[in-house]
Structure 1
């Protein structure tokens, strides 16, 4: 049977891995949001140009 300190270490490792995964996902989401915003700005500019609003 593992000692309590061994159990605490074993429980911490998955939590650390999970935090690293969450941080990576947040960074990817930030990059994707920026890409989407840039694409939408370009599309809006094109639509305004076609409609003669600019």
Structure 2
């Protein structure tokens, strides 16, 4: 099963969403639309 990045609509794994997404496992950024550094700094869970 896959999750969808809210920013670019790319498919991401459910594990990615669970680990890097927000509390509802929603992904707001992914490696397809932002840098890995930003993702590791919390961009995938940031809604702003």
Specify if TM > 0.5: no
Q: What TM-score results when the alignment is normalised by the length of structure 1?
A: 0.18
Bigger strand share: 2
Which one has a bigger Cα radius of gyration? 1
Bigger helix share: 1
